[in-house]
Amino acid sequence: MAELAEAGHAVAELTVQEYITHHLSYLTFGQVDGHWGIAHTPEEATEMGFWAVHVDTLGWSVFLGFGFLLFFRWVGKNASIDKPTGVQNFVEMVVEFVDARVSEGFTHKNDLIGPLCLTLFFWILLMNTMDLVPVDWITKLFEISAATFFNFEHAPFKIVPTTDPNITMGLSVSVFFMIIYYSIKNKGLGGFLKELAFHPFGKWMLPFNLIIEVPTLFAKPISLGLRLFGNLYAGELLFLLIASMLGFWQLPAHFVWAVFHLLVIPLQAFVFMMLTIVYLNQAHDKEAH
């Protein structure tokens, strides 16, 4: 217990700037000086380079994703027509909501789009919801444990995956690959290239068409990923500012901002899902412009 108290005291010795910087850092795994391990300083994390892995946000995203799959599988296996439970009604409501949005926005036949959009919506919703957990609860517990058992003081540990651009851009790039795949599958490689080269001004304006269409194509994954990251990162930053200024008395102010944030969390998941539907619908369109 004395060691735990000592670790807690060491963790608490942070200025406001150090506190915010620490909470915006990642638990990074990578290679430094020929050895693989966890970065103990921001300098080590930077030295690890492109192939470094953010263990905390990646771990939480995988954990929440598996949790979502197991929960829906359990509800599906125990579903009852005669005596539906409240949980079953909730899941059916979510499925019907997503199915209605797909039916409205996707005008083609593809059995993958519905499950994809349901997965994206609920997975992103769960990752966003981690932003409502007070910033010091899980992070502080991990920090004290790391200091006590591994002599790793001020260990960073982010629990909101969507405040990590690697996670949000990973989702958006996956959607982008699907856009390219279905565009080529439905229009042919020639049709896809013609759409980029001849739209919107015709074949005689090919250079100008490319100047417009190529950036527009690559703007899709960037807008998907950065919009989600930016909104959740801004919300997390405000939670950190509240915590750093008010300390123990942060919970009332945290609650006020969390109530407003309840609108942001589902809205960002919904926007990501709807843009995915729109982009994939465009990828299935075969009409010549």
> Could you tell me whether strands 35-38 and 28-32 are parallel, antiparallel, or unpaired per DSSP bridges?
antiparallel
Q: Which of 172, 183, 231, 244 is catalytic?
A: 231
In the annotation, is 186 catalytic? no
Please name the amino acid found at residue 55. Answer: V
DSSP per residue, 33-65? TTEEEE-SSHHHHHHT-TT-EEHHHHHHHHHHH
The DSSP call for residue 30 is: E
Establish whether 223 is a catalytic residue: yes
Q: Which residues contact 182 (CB under 8 A, 6 or more apart)?
A: 110, 280, 283, 284
Contacts of 16 (CB under 8 A, 6+ apart): 244, 245
Catalytic residue among 78, 223, 244, 281: 223
Pair of tokens at residue 133: 């957990």
CA–centroid distance for 178 within its chain? 18
Q: Cα–Cα distance between 30 and 287 in angstroms, integer?
A: 48
The residues, ordered by sequence, that sit 6+ positions from 28 with a Cβ below 8 Å of its Cβ are 38, 39, 44, 45, 48, 52, 53, 54, 55
SS3 for 31?
A: strand
Of the listed 145, 186, 227, 281, which one is catalytic?
A: 227
Active site residues: 223, 227, 231
